[in-house]
Amino acid sequence: MASPQCLTRTSYHHLDQTNNLSPKVFSISCSIINTKKNSIISSTCRNPKRTRRYEVIAKNNSSSTEIKHETYEGVEKKKKERRFRILIAGGGIGGLVLALAAKERGFEVMVFEKNLSAIRGEGRYRGPIQLMSSALGVLMDIHKGVAEQVMNAGCVTGDRMNGLVDGVSGDWLAKIDLLAPAIKKGLPVTLVISRTTLQEILLKAVGNHIVFNNSKVVEISQDPHKVVATLDDGRQFEGDILVGADGIWSEVRKKLFGTQEASYSGYTCYSGLVDYVPSYTNSIGYRVFLGRNQYFVASDVGNGKMQWYAFHKEPQIGSGNLEGKKVRLTKLFGSWCSDVTTLIAKTREEMILRRDIYDRDMIYSWGKGRVTLLGDAAHPLQPNLGLGGCLAIEDCHRLIHELESIKKSEYNAIKLIDITSVLKRYEQKRMLRTMITHGVTRMASKSLSGYQSFTSLSAFRLPVQVSEFLQMVSSYFLTWLVAGEADMLKKQDQQIEGKKHKVLLQYNRKR
């Protein structure tokens, strides 16, 4: 549709029908909008007592004319009902959680995903995603019903033994207590859930009418009044802000900051999903088996299945290694303890996937103007600690929390500076946690694979001092890591309750 062209604005003197001695002044403004089918003449008549909007549609190649009228009060009401619109590039976990949060809080929201059937993560046989207590806590605040569905569908691992073990002997090196921080902060316990299941729950809650499948955002433009997302098929959509939740290879990030090469970690990850229930399942959630230049992660994921990840230091996937993945893994981990070799042996070749591990250097500004980023688009992490999805969910909660301050204002009163201020606050309040976690995942990759023999040639050992230090530090760090954004949420609730209590005391004193 072509842009409206204002033809004229003329004032007319008109004798009021009820009192011909008192002429009334009103104005009419007209505009013509040309389309392929119709010419639309729209005029607005303003009168101190009667205000109407007349729309005349003259159909091309036809003598018929359709006249519509609507009260001016109705037009003004529609203007006031215009809601703040959030455009989201990416329908992964972060994009869907943000859409759910926006919908629940009365924002208008649209999600554009290039392929909903290709869930980001562990490939075709989608392994689980770990949701720590913090992510579950903020999900409860976003939508209690959805959070309960997720917790019912997931497999709780945080109530069992988890931690680091020796790859050859299988002996425990350091145990990680995920239960105590959750109990201490009053949060749900860490669990794992199938990515497919999680996506289905979120999609159902968000609604298919909000999510546009086979729609990739390829261009963005903005001005003081709006942001425009252009899709790969040429369609354009206007919004008040645009959020890039399109992962480590984010197109939105590229449009904002130019091409930035992803950093290869030096490690390839082989992952497998196997129908197998070990004898230790009831007592052990997950373990990280350590070795020189390689490590192996195994976790119970419920429904009679185990998920494992084998990380090995090697060139990128284009190195020309043609041997079968299972054969290669048997060579790499064949001398390790039976808990590792059994999982590999029981996994079918077609259930083993391989991918190179990348991340990006941390950036300290996630947006420009009306556009910002979240999740891996803003701060991509290596998967060794299973925190990528958790941080994305936390980002969603913080962003929508900051945006609620805008929703309190009338839509027409919202200025660009209000929007940019809110987006900057979101970045600032998320920066420290994501920055520390980003650094820890990189450090963990080097530390875990740098594990080597200290006491013998047959078994790998950590010095006693290092093991004791890990135990001491882990309790403090894990509380911060596990509680995170949800802990801040609880503190805010306590502050609100404290203020309410203070007001009540003051009221009672006055009485």
What's 324's DSSP letter?
-
The angle formed by the CA atoms of residues 356, 358 and 360, to the nearest 5 degrees, is: 170
Residues 38 and 185 in one domain: no
* Tens digit of each residue's pLDDT (9 = 90 or more) over 263-281: 898 889 999 999 999 999 9
> Does residue 318 lie within any of the structural domains?
no
The angle formed by the CA atoms of residues 395, 111 and 138, to the nearest 5 degrees, is: 30
Confidence of residue 412 (pLDDT cuts 50, 70, 90): confident
Residue 410 has pLDDT above 50, yes or no: yes
Residues 59 and 76 in one domain: yes
Residue 63 has pLDDT above 50, yes or no: no
pLDDT of amino acid 258: 93
Average pLDDT (170-185) is: 90
Residues 19 and 126 in one domain: no
Residues 70 and 92 in one domain: no
Average pLDDT (454-476) is: 53
Residue 45 has pLDDT above 50, yes or no: no
Residue 375 has pLDDT above 70, yes or no: yes
Residue 33 has pLDDT above 50, yes or no: no
Alpha-carbon span 372 to 362, nearest angstrom: 15
Tokens of 134: 């913090």
Residues 194 and 251 in one domain: yes
Residues 9 and 131 in one domain: no
Closest C-alpha to 125, from 314, 347, 375: 347
Average pLDDT (389-400) is: 96
Residue 39 has pLDDT above 70, yes or no: no
What range defines the domain where residue 34 resides? 5-81
Q: Where among 81, 110, 137 does a domain terminate?
A: 81
> Does residue 291 lie within any of the structural domains?
no
Contact 296/309 with Cβ under 8 angstroms?
A: yes
Residues 65 and 91 in one domain: no
> Does residue 339 lie within any of the structural domains?
no
The residues pairing with 42 across neighbouring beta strands, listed in sequence order, are: 31, 55
Average pLDDT (403-408) is: 88
> Does residue 48 lie within any of the structural domains?
yes
Q: Where among 53, 81, 109 does a domain terminate?
A: 81
Burial class (CB in 10 A: 0-12, 13-18, 19+), 266: middle
Which amino acid appears at position 193 of this protein?
A: I
Q: Is 479 helix (H, G, I), strand (E, B) or coil?
A: helix
pLDDT of amino acid 67: 37
Residues 32 and 130 in one domain: no
pLDDT of amino acid 14: 35
pLDDT of amino acid 128: 86
The DSSP code sequence of 13-77 is EEEETTEEEEEEEEEEEEEEEE-SSEEEEEEEEE-SS--EEEEEEEETT---EEEEEEEHHHHHH
> Does residue 130 lie within any of the structural domains?
yes
Residues 211 and 242 in one domain: yes
pLDDT of amino acid 478: 76
* Tens digit of each residue's pLDDT (9 = 90 or more) over 316-372: 875 445 568 999 999 999 999 999 999 999 999 989 988 898 889 999 999 999 999
* Tens digit of each residue's pLDDT (9 = 90 or more) over 182-215: 998 899 999 999 888 999 999 999 999 999 999 9
Question: Could you tell me the CATH number of the domain that includes residue 247?
Answer: 3.50.50.60
Average pLDDT (149-166) is: 95
Q: Where among 81, 105, 136 does a domain terminate?
A: 81
Tokens of 95: 């994009």
Please count the helices (runs of H) and the strands (runs of E) in the chain. Answer: 12, 23
Share of the chain above pLDDT 90, in %: 54
CA distances from 73 to 45, 52, 79, 159, 184 (A): 12, 8, 10, 59, 55
Residues 77 and 187 in one domain: no
pLDDT of amino acid 411: 84
pLDDT of amino acid 50: 40
Average pLDDT (86-101) is: 97
Residues 207 and 239 in one domain: yes
Greatest mean pLDDT range, 105-119, 394-408, 471-485 = 394-408
Quote the mean pLDDT of the chain.
79
Residue 105 has pLDDT above 60, yes or no: yes
Residue 454 has pLDDT above 50, yes or no: no
Confidence of residue 477 (pLDDT cuts 50, 70, 90): confident
Alpha-carbon span 247 to 254, nearest angstrom: 11
Average pLDDT (22-51) is: 40
> Does residue 379 lie within any of the structural domains?
yes
pLDDT of amino acid 252: 98
Which amino acid appears at position 429 of this protein?
A: K
Residue 61 has pLDDT above 50, yes or no: no
pLDDT of amino acid 332: 95
The residues pairing with 242 across neighbouring beta strands, listed in sequence order, are: 87, 371
Looking at the structure of the chain, the number of domains it has is: 2
Alpha-carbon span 129 to 133, nearest angstrom: 13
The residues pairing with 86 across neighbouring beta strands, listed in sequence order, are: 109, 241
Alpha-carbon span 403 to 395, nearest angstrom: 12
Residue 170 has pLDDT above 50, yes or no: yes
